[in-house]
Homo-oligomer: A and B are copies of this chain.
Amino acid sequence: MEINLTKELKRFVSEDRVSKNETVLSLHSKDESFHTPRQPDVVVFPIDTEEVVNILKFANENEIPVVPFGVGSGLEGQVIPIKGGISLDFQLMNQIVEISPVDLLVRVQPGVMRKHLNKELGKYGLFFSVDPGADASIGGMAATNASGTTAVRYGSMKENVRNLQVVLAEGKIIQTGGKAKKSSSGYHLTELFVGSEGTLGIFTEITLKVYGISEMITAARAVFPSVKQAVQAAVSLLSLGVPIARIELLDARSIKQINMATGSKYVEDVTLFLEFHGIKDSLANEVYLTKELFIDSGCYQFEFESDSNGRARLWDARHNLFYAYLHSNPGKKMMNTDVCVPLSKLAEAVEQSRKFIDESGLDGTVAGHIGDGNFHAGIVIDPKNPFDMARANRVNEQIVDFALTHGGTCTGEHGVGLGKMKYQKREHGDALDIMKSFKRVLDPKGILNPGKIFE
């Protein structure tokens, strides 16, 4: 029996929040990636947990796919409803529920945007650390275990989500953790749900760790003659325990692209972008020590960006790196690799990646979160050109192969989505069966973001 999806959903959600408008469907058919768009059958905008419960109960009963949607800034197609069904858009669940300055915690709804959250936290002298560049929704960031430039010091979402309120497929509500900083009670479920990409349950509230804003922030730029020396410098700094807040590597080709796109005049060589957070006097000492150590490791230019404008310019350049490529290549897209490797293999991985791109004849960037061993090769492609796609896929595979051969992962922060499914068996071996069995337990009818993470 065919059911009238829209009509049924309007039993739980007010009419204006159930949409089959073509523009709305189209907006929910894609993310920032190169993956092929696919429209949902309907888009629903819940306003509270109860509505989510009712929608899930209905969807589960009728075996209708449900795909949670934040803002569409993902990079592996996680929000693309490849089997149709309901796109559950959280933009109306955008409340900061509770800020607890003494507990260094904030509780938010999944539709809260990262930048908005930081603006509000700023009023209390606090900040939320995870910074993937894009102004993503907190729900999406938790669902993909996002991280970005600050993870080297503050960790990824996994380390910064204290508790999740999750609606399960059958409509039950659970809390995965509590407010305590530590717990040895029961099994740790929070980390299992973080990064599960909407396949195990739907988040309706997220409790996050926050931090006091540092007394002082200083940025710097350090130029090296080789990737190897830059990586060596970073490793030395980390071994020494300098609590660097950001340490990003851009290869020479990437700096050149930034100069072309923004008019900056950075030396076009391997560069580390750095940021230090701390107490004023301690920081001065750390920065001094870093400079000394870097110069010992071959750094030939070390410049500060001490005022906030200079700092903003520096990080804008880093975060807009992909756009710097795309602006010069209208109509093109970026295929991003996202491997994370042990630090001892990082220099080789970065150098190999550049070689793979150059050999493919495609253009691209190699840049990343060097303190974590996580970097991105961004390959410029026309997704409609099969020759581009074949070459880019080949580069992607070469880079992932290198990572998996050396104990790394196919995805450090973008998630599996559609693009990294094919590497799951090789990376996880028999542990993949355990993951699948958990999926079956929590979502026996397979309605939660079907076709993601697992085939």
Using a CB–CB cutoff of 8 Å, the interface residues on chain A facing chain B are: 100-105, 125, 144-147, 151, 156, 158-159, 168, 172-176, 178-192, 194-196, 200, 211-212, 214-215, 235, 238-243, 277-279, 281-283, 285-286, 289, 338, 340-344, 369, 372-374, 403, 406-416, 420, 423-424, 427-432, 434-435, 437-438, 441-442, 453
Contact = CB atoms under 8 A, between A and B. Distances in A.
B423 A185 contact: yes
22 contacts: A100-B344, A102-B235, A102-B239, A104-B239, A145-B182, A174-B430, A178-B408, A179-B341, A179-B407, A181-B340, A181-B412, A185-B411, A185-B415, A185-B416, A186-B428, A187-B453, A188-B192, A188-B194, A189-B431, A191-B192, A242-B279, A282-B282
Interface centre among A125, A427, A432 (most CB of B within 10 A): A427
B192 A192 contact: yes
Given A243-B243, A278-B282, 13 more contacts: A103-B344, A104-B239, A145-B183, A146-B184, A175-B431, A180-B403, A182-B372, A184-B415, A185-B409, A211-B241, A215-B240, A282-B286, A434-B442
A395 to B, nearest CB: 19
B441 A173 contact: no
B186 A427 contact: yes
Contacts of A428: 175, 185-186
Contacts of A168: 434
A342 B163 CA distance: 13
Given A186-B424, A188-B191, A279-B285, A101 B239 contact: yes
